[in-house]
Structure 1
Amino acid sequence: MSVRRVVPNIPIAASEAPEGDADAMRANAAFYGLLGFEEVMNHGWIMTLASPSHPAAQVSVMTADRTAPLTPDMSVEVSDVDAAHAAMVRGGAEIVYGLHDEEWGVRRFFVRDPNGRVINVLGHR
């Protein structure tokens, strides 16, 4: 198993109005665009921006994870998510969201690190 990318998930305040979330996403896209990042994914509640010259250099902004019970602090893409899950279970790590196949083409689970941070470990299907 190898790590393919690590992406910080920056929390943004969720708005009561859907246009508020869209405004926050646009503001973040504009800000990170000044550093050369471009939008590569946007589900409305999470947006990922990447460097065109180094696509694995990414940052995500999110209001809240709308498909899981909690919002992760960081995402780690691995080559074999099932092997990563098995290693975490064997190592006694706290799994806080079990393995799931998500509708947007990833298989993932969440694990809590020793600092209390929630890590989204994923692989693309």
Structure 2
Amino acid sequence: MTVRRVVPDIHVRSEEAMRTNRDFYGLLGLEEVMNLGWVTTLASPSNPTAQIMFLTEERTAPVVPDMSVEVEDVDAVYARVAASGAEIVRELRDEEWGVRRFFVRDPNGRVVNVLGHRA
């Protein structure tokens, strides 16, 4: 199994808070690489897998995740996680912005968004 990136997901109260965070983390060299209004991703231009995500809500799932883990084969990871008995918070599905993902709760109660980009 190949992990491509791990991204902290930070729940913020408003789009204004996303802009404030974008400006602050811009001081550290991160740039906005995605903005869907309710979710914004900032990344390092020199290392695009170094990212932070800010969300005001989660429009396609019951909770805002605490982190995202991008994997090479999300279907295989889903099968392994489901077989382990871990709590699936949101079933595997395709999203309109080009990812396939599911949410699972880790042993500490944190929700992990596990995703892969569709070809």
Between the aligned partners of 1:12 and 1:90, the Cα distance in structure 2 is 33
Task: Select 1:41's aligned residue among 24, 34, 46.
Answer: 34
Task: Select 2:65's aligned residue among 68, 72, 78.
Answer: 72
Quote how far apart the aligned CAs of 1:81 are. Answer: 0.3
Aligned sequence identity (%): 69
Gaps of 5+ in 2: none
Residue 7 (structure 2) pairs with residue 7 (structure 1): yes
* TM-score normalized with structure 1 length: 0.92
Residue 75 (structure 2) pairs with residue 85 (structure 1): no
The root-mean-square deviation of aligned C-alpha atoms, in Å, is 0.8
Quote how far apart the aligned CAs of 1:95 are. Answer: 0.5
Between the aligned partners of 1:6 and 1:75, the Cα distance in structure 2 is 6
Quote how far apart the aligned CAs of 1:7 are. Answer: 0.3
Residue identity in the other structure for 1:13: R
* TM-score normalized with structure 2 length: 0.96
Task: Look up the SS of the partner of 2:7 in the other structure.
Answer: strand
Between the aligned partners of 2:11 and 2:80, the Cα distance in structure 1 is 28
Quote how far apart the aligned CAs of 1:24 are. Answer: 2.0
List, as ranges, runs of 4+ consecutive aligned residues in structure 1 with deviation greater than 4 Å: none
Quote how far apart the aligned CAs of 1:49 are. Answer: 0.2
